Structure 1
Amino acid sequence: MAAAPAAEAQIRVPTRKPTAALSKRPETPVLADPPATQQLLLQAASLTINFKDSEALAVYQEILKTTPSHYLSLWQAAVLSVKIGARYSDETRKAAYFNAARSYADRALLLRPEGGESNYAVALALFNQATLYKAGARLAAFRDLRSHVFLATEHRPDLAETWQLLGRWQYRVAHYNLLERLYSKLVLGGVPEGGSSRQAIESLEQAHKIAPGNLQVCYDLARMCRYQGRRKRAIEVLRAAEKIPPITSEELVVSRLCRKMLPPLLRADVRRQERQQSDPPASQVSTPDTLLRPAPRVSNRE
């Protein structure tokens, strides 16, 4: 995602970095932070830029001890908690971090119900908590996060992360199975509106446009394009991803997944081109009507 009077204007992190970038102006005017808090915010931003998420989270937690209603620290702590928790394989640790993220996000949402960042933080926490839930609770979480993820893209359309999360949600809802649809209709009041494979790709294309150097966005977009039969676009995205050097261990894993996805798509594209070259032109192919038409009579007259 330089010190300035407003808290949200103090930190800018490039889209290549793991944390969401902040806009030049906050959504609503806020009071200037004390110099000590400004120094801590700069320290947290520097740690995040250098991929030291745990240390950055600790700094935001330090700010919240003295200023519990510090909006920037709350939503950043929520995002960092999700990122850290996602790295654990143990579900107990995952749940602890995801629950903490939800708590920070809810507090941020109380401060700014229409805030793009607060709604993104809530949606992100819900989406990741859902991975640990059983079927019914998971579907309820997908229903509950709908309004938050749409508000996030509405109020922070400059954040690639909001569009990426929206695209993931849209694709997941679009591919509910029969039981999930029945449960949603009978228990949850219906399948959430807005789920669509086409719209999911559009959302991810927007995320890719904002952050073309984000490997996770490239992978998500390429995978969805492959599932929807858009092979050429998937190949374009994956070839671009090959040129992005991974920095963190997580990015290295995603980079390898992108490289693994590309060869089968290239082979399929070559086979398609070979079939097109081997097939005769349409003008030379006999149609069923032509085959059924009786042969012309040959006259014996000279």
Structure 2
Amino acid sequence: MKWFKQHWWLPALLLGVLMSGPARAQPAKRRAPAARVAAPAPAPDPPAVRAKLFQAASLISQFKESEALAVYQEILSTVPTHYLALWQSAVLSVRIGNRYSDETRKSAYFNAARQYADRAMLLRPEGGESNYAEALALFNQATLYSAGARLAAFRDLRSHVYLATERRPDLPEAWQLLGRWQYRVAHYNLLERLYSKLVLGGVPEGGDSREAIEHLEKAHAMAPQNLQFCYDLARMCRYQGRRRRAIEVLQEAEKIPPITSDDLVISRLCRKMLPPLERADARRSAKPSPASAPEPALDKVPPPADSVGKKESGPKRTAAGR
């Protein structure tokens, strides 16, 4: 009794635990889904930033991409989290870097593009523009990597390029990049497939030549005056044996006047690709097919003596079928 008097609080504690135990074990009541609160709209840009954005867009329309990149960098020096300036800086850095043959300069621009894209991804992880910029930077960085790192980059950019086309289906560059990625993955060689399966967890899903051509066709339809789209589509069609379609696209490219030095290079590549395809198509058209070869005039050929009165049959193979 003395012990119970000294520990009078213990029964009350045990009773409380016993009473609270079943209540905790009961499943929580299903709550009605809370209404999704819309993200607050970004604050409007100050007049000085708007003026610089207009200046950068004007420079891009004049194909002065280095100057436009410098203007976006000025914006980011005052507003480091400006989404438009970040993803546009990433895209412009890739374009400028691709003009250099020196890998050191290429790498510097591609690394800068990746940094801009990463910062844009932090702001909008599911944004179509940020994911496109990230995929574009990864795709071009991969061209400078070793084989294993390149395959890892192709694996990592998959989700970004699919999300870019999902969120920005009006962006033809995103469809072009998706098509190029799909075609590259579809044509992994044996060693690349083995490495991907043993080290990277498998070959990325989505590599398909037919879908790649479909997506390049979509990009070309959205921007028919883009010479790079024409060249990529024609090459894929040529590799897949679609010679007639490749010729059509290249003939369209001949009518597009090159504006920039990049356009001039691509235009020359298109003109160089066209004549061999036209010659091959002409040879194929001139060669008579077995179905269209003329049948010999059997009525002018006397039948053998032992076949008189029997049903005559035509020759088993035509001259074109030998």
Distance 2:197 2:40 in 1: 38
Does structure 1 residue 157 correspond to structure 2 residue 182? Answer: no
| Residue type at the aligned position of 2:276 | P
Distance 1:195 1:296, change over 3 A: farther
Distance 1:205 1:59, change over 3 A: same
| Residue type at the aligned position of 2:282 | V
Q: Which runs of 5+ in 2 are unaligned?
A: 1-38, 297-303, 310-322
| Residue type at the aligned position of 1:67 | V
Distance 1:186 1:44, change over 3 A: same
Distance 1:28 1:50, change over 3 A: farther
**Paired position in structure 2 for 1:281:** 292
Q: How does 1:30-41 map to 2 (within 5 A)?
A: 30-41=42-53
| Residue type at the aligned position of 2:204 | P
The number of equivalent residue pairs is: 264
Shift of residue 148, structure 1, vs aligned partner: 0.2
Distance 1:36 1:65 in 2: 13
Shift of residue 296, structure 1, vs aligned partner: 8.8
**Paired position in structure 2 for 1:262:** 274
Shift of residue 30, structure 1, vs aligned partner: 2.7
Shift of residue 32, structure 1, vs aligned partner: 1.3
| Residue type at the aligned position of 1:122 | E
Distance 1:32 1:44 in 2: 18
**Paired position in structure 2 for 1:3:** none
For CA contacts below 8 A with separation 6 or more, give which structure has more relative contact order.
1
TM-score calculated relative to the size of structure 2: 0.79
Q: How does 1:96-175 map to 2 (within 5 A)?
A: 96-175=108-187
**Paired position in structure 1 for 2:86:** 74
The ranges of structure 1 where at least 4 consecutive aligned residues each deviate by more than 2 angstroms after the TM superposition are 27-31, 279-285, 295-300
Does structure 1 residue 58 correspond to structure 2 residue 107? Answer: no
TM-align CA RMSD = 1.8
Distance 2:83 2:60 in 1: 17
| Residue type at the aligned position of 1:105 | A
CA displacement 1:220-257 (0-9 Å, x = unmatched): 00010000010111111011101100011110000000
Distance 2:155 2:291 in 1: 51
Distance 2:90 2:258 in 1: 24
**Paired position in structure 1 for 2:226:** 214
Distance 1:210 1:134, change over 3 A: same
Shift of residue 31, structure 1, vs aligned partner: 2.3
**Paired position in structure 2 for 1:195:** 207
